[in-house]
Amino acid sequence: MTDIFTQPRRRPDRRTRVSLKVEDWPLDDQTRWRNAFAEGDIFEAGKGAHLAPSTKRAWENEYGTWLGFLKRSDTDALDEPLNARVTRERIIDHCEVLAQTNSVLSISGRLEKLRHALRLLSPETDWAWLLVINKRISAKAVPRPKGPRYQDIVKLDMLGYKLMDDAWRRLIEQQPITLNTALAFRDGLLIAITAATLLRRRNLAQMTLDQHLVQIGDRWCVSFQGSETKNKQALYVPLPIELNQYIDLYLSSVRRSFPRADQHQALWPSAKGGALRGGAIYDLICARTKAAFGRATNPHMFRDAAATSISVRTPENAQAAADLLGHKGLRHTQKHYIRAGGVEAARLLARALRKRAC
């Protein structure tokens, strides 16, 4: 197992589906999965009936990925009983395939989802051995350092406006709107709204014209119900008034220039005629920030950047960073997001050294 953690990774091919849909699972697996989510009262409902839709999708997709791996590597395994086909050797082979495109931390997270799905499908089976393997993998996981990906939130916000302004100038000079110009404007607006709202990419991908982007008075706002957010809290964020003219242009002209954009309500249409998914949003933000700053900043780093910026510029408002990120207390924000403590300590040290030199 140790070799798979050091081999170079390649970018995943998002165009090829690797997870089997539920209707393509073995019939017994399909029945077990439906029963696990069967509706009923608190005494008769399935073991997974209480789970959030996003959790169900994540576990379903991970189990489908496991079956897809077996279909490609050992087709006969799909004819075996569910608990018999899950062997230590096959799990190792599965991890080796995952390691081609996933970090050790990601492999650990995906194995955990697979274990949860198996516990729903076959609760009578002891899956403790899989938990042991996952813990061993997790112990080897070293989180990717955030420092190289960190960028000031103000610069990220300015990048969004710059992309839109450059695209707007081209709009004036050329008609009809070219796809490259529309993409630049869309990506700029996406980055600016991410900087202003700190939405997770799942919520960014969920945004629709009729539900999540609403105009109240003279201001556009982003709104999500509690059932749609990770922390189950309703989200309502007024957007900066400066974005009004850009949103108006986007909705009236730019968005309509995308293929089949009039056939769906997604706020972020793709060049292929559908809606942008979370993975595509991740990729385009990384690509735009790398082109601008030399290093990619992924969408989640916007949250780190905002929390740190608030704490560095206005330390007395550090609690606001927790509120902004939807955390119940400051402790979680400090642990995972705020880098201001080290920044401020370095500033104090620099001041002390300057005084000493004088």
Instruction: Name 109's Cβ contacts closer than 8 Å, sequence gap at least 6.
Output: none
pLDDT tens string 91-104: 999 999 998 888 88
Q: Residue 210 pLDDT > 90, yes or no?
A: no
pLDDT tens string 121-175: 999 999 999 999 999 888 877 666 655 666 888 899 999 999 999 999 999 888 7
Domain ranges of the chain: 3-140, 154-293, 311-357
Listing DSSP states for 96-149 in one string gives HHHTTTS-HHHHHHHHHHHHHHHHHH-TTS--HHHHHHHHHHHHH--PPPSGGG
Structure confidence at residue 282 (pLDDT): 93
Between 349 and 76, where is the model more confident? 76
Between 20 and 315, where is the model more confident? 20
Tell which residue, 124, 121, 147, 106, has the closest CA to residue 67: 121
Structure confidence at residue 229 (pLDDT): 82
Q: How many CB atoms within 10 Å of residue 313? A: 10
Cα–Cα distance between 116 and 54 in angstroms, integer? 14
Structure confidence at residue 1 (pLDDT): 45
**pLDDT (average), residues 312-318:** 53
- Does the predicted TM-score (pTM) go above 0.75? no
CATH class of 154-293: mainly alpha
CB-based burial label for 237 (10 Å; 0-12, 13-18, 19+): middle
Structure confidence at residue 17 (pLDDT): 79
**pLDDT (average), residues 169-197:** 93
Distance of CA 167 to the CA centre of its chain: 26
Structure confidence at residue 175 (pLDDT): 79
Structure confidence at residue 3 (pLDDT): 59
Tell which residue, 346, 14, 300, has the closest CA to residue 143: 300
Quick one: three-class SS letters along 50-100? CCCHHHHHHHHHHHHHHHHHHHHHCHHHHHCCHHHHCCHHHHHHHHHHHCC
Between 233 and 128, where is the model more confident? 128
